[in-house]
Amino acid sequence: MKNQKTKKLIFIALLSCISYVLSTFVYFPRMAPFQHMMNVIAGVLLGPVGGFASAFLTGIMRMLLGGRSIQALIGAIVGAFLAGLAYKLTKKTYMAVVGEVIGTGILSALLVYPFMVQFYGLNPSTPFWIFIPSYLPSSLMGSCLGFALIKVLKRAKVWHIVNGMLVNQ
């Protein structure tokens, strides 16, 4: 049992580091699609808590090492948790995509607003939904990349090996 927990912690750290590197060095203006891709992968592999932990660590690294705002943290954790929860409840990979898009593209975009007003000087008269137009396409694009990567890895029989390492035996 202890060995399984250690493996999950290692995978959380590994996915966090991959996510940080991809989000930092492969950059699209106003988008972080690789964060969403990794959220879907972490949610499917590690479940809601593991996905949350991976996104949390990535967000902290992006803030501390990359100088990103609180959006890097809040924008990831809700989507990763919902991706993992949706997959856990349905065992359907596409539902992890739906969870990530709703969690990040809509809910996180709304949750980040008060933080941006309070701590970053966003004008309070700015509409509360201001971040949805940038979060939604980014989360949709990244989630679809995650879905596609999972499908490719399953077809290549790699996914089953990785998933087998995490499943209790």
Pairwise CA distance, residues 117 & 124, whole Å: 6
For residue 163, what pLDDT band results from cuts at 50, 70 and 90? confident
pLDDT (tens digit per residue) in 47-64:
999 999 999 999 999 989
Domains, the chain, with CATH or none: 1-167 (1.10.1760.20)
pTM score over 0.85? yes
Report which of residues 28 and 50 the model is more confident about. 50
Contact 99, 83 (CB under 8 A): yes
pLDDT (tens digit per residue) in 96-149:
999 999 999 999 999 999 999 999 999 999 999 999 998 999 999 999 999 999
DSSP string over the chain: -HHHHHHHHHHHHHHHHHHHHHHHHS-BTTB-HHHHHHHHHHHHHHHHHHHHHHHHHHHHHHHHHH---THHHHHHHHHHHHHHHHHHHH--HHHHHHHHIIIIIIIIHHHHHHHHHHHH---TTS-TTTTHHHHHHHHHHHHHHHHHHHHHHHHTTHHHHHHHHHS--
